Amino acid sequence: MPELRKDPIIGRWVIISTERGRRPMNFSVSPPVMQGGFCPFCYGNAEQTPPELFAVRPSKDSPPNSPDWKIRVVPNKFPALQIEGGQDKVGYGMFDKMNGIGAHEVIIESPNHDATLEQISEHSLVDVFISFRERILDLRNDKRFKYILIFKNHGIEAGASLEHTHSQLIALPIIPNLVREELEGSLSHYKLKERCVYCDIIRQEVSDKIRLVSENSEFVVLSPYAPRFPFETWIIPKTHSSSFENADKNIYIALAKILRDTLQRMNRILNNPPYNLVIHTSPLEQQNNEYYHWHIEIMPKLTRVAGFEWGSGFYINPTPPEEAATYLRDSRP
């Protein structure tokens, strides 16, 4: 059973994952991504993954785990957290821990091994977002879970261990630190101003234009004012909305259009960089609120995080966001 342990100084929780238990000899700095070899996510290999939790198929009559799929959601074969069990919070001398319960799922975004996320059709990308929503709606019935994080690692340098396009979902029994900081910051802005801080950011950025990359009817894309990483890019819905899963299909269609366009701009400017993409959304118990505003953050992996950052939580970014936005804005196919 994995454990959640709390740092006794700053209160940060970590997952000590026993399933993945790695001995010294099992570490390699560059884990090999399956290339050319066998891929469990490919069309025809559905029996190599745990049984599916959700799928999108051309025909509604097809049974689960049958081969004619477009998108599949399956449990992670090496989960960081375990789905069965209770929390069992216990103290151990001065230390605190609980059972590492949670869900860890993989969303396989295409049966085609070679497609990247921006290469699959707009229609399929909408289905990917609907798959995310369906999984959140299912998992939020489980009262043990407080937060659901959806993220994508693209490329070895961004932490991907399989190259076939996929995202991951982790349902957590606690609200993670960074999310809590965003919630507290947003709530304190709201208490002061009676406005959402992200809505305020959109207003200033659309008016200033210097950090604006693009917009459509529903979304703005911008280089944030104080980004941790070069070319970090946020996609924010224009209308206040606290949770990703509350959006309707029109929103997902507009998101598919602008996400594809944003990734294509990055690929042109940065030569197909590895990246992490994270959906920032409200905790399950605060689904509808006035202060937090869901959005997507994309972080190309262009520099290495080093001792300064690990020691201070402070980041050195060598590219001003105004320059990054200019490059991305001016990029034409």
Residues involved in catalysis: 166
Q: Which of 229, 208, 230, 212 is nearest to 221 (CA)?
A: 212
> What whole-number distance in Å separates Cα of residue 186 and Cα of residue 290?
9
Candidate residues 142, 163, 290, 323; the one interacting with its own copies per rule CB under 8 A: 323
Region from 34-42, 60-68, 131-139, 165-173 binding its own copies, contact rule CB under 8 A: 165-173
Please give the span between the terminal C-alpha atoms of the chain, in angstroms, as a whole number. Answer: 49
146 near its own copies, judged by CB under 8 A: no
Between 59 and 306, name the residue whose CB sits nearer to its own copies: 306
Amino acid in position 83: I
- Is 259 one of the binding residues for its own copies (CB under 8 A)? no
- Residue pair 253/311 in contact (Cβ under 8 Å)? The answer is no
Q: Does 192 bind its own copies (CB under 8 A)?
A: no
- Residues numbered 42 to 101 that lie near its own copies (CB under 8 A) are 80, 93-95
Answer for which of 133, 152, 164, 329 binds its own copies (CB under 8 A) is 152
Q: Judged by CB under 8 A, does residue 178 bind its own copies?
A: yes
Is the CB of residue 54 less than 8 Å from the CB of residue 134?
A: yes
The smaller minimum CB distance to its own copies, of residues 11 and 67, is found at: 11
Using CB under 8 A, pick the residue from 77, 87, 206, 308 that binds its own copies: 308
Regarding 276 and contact with its own copies (CB under 8 A), the answer is yes
Q: Report CA 24 to chain centroid distance, whole Å.
A: 29
320 φψ region: left (φ > 0), alpha (ψ -120 to 50), beta (else): beta
Question: Does 202 contact its own copies by CB under 8 A?
Answer: no
Q: Does 18 bind its own copies (CB under 8 A)?
A: yes
Structure tokens at 194: 């009676």
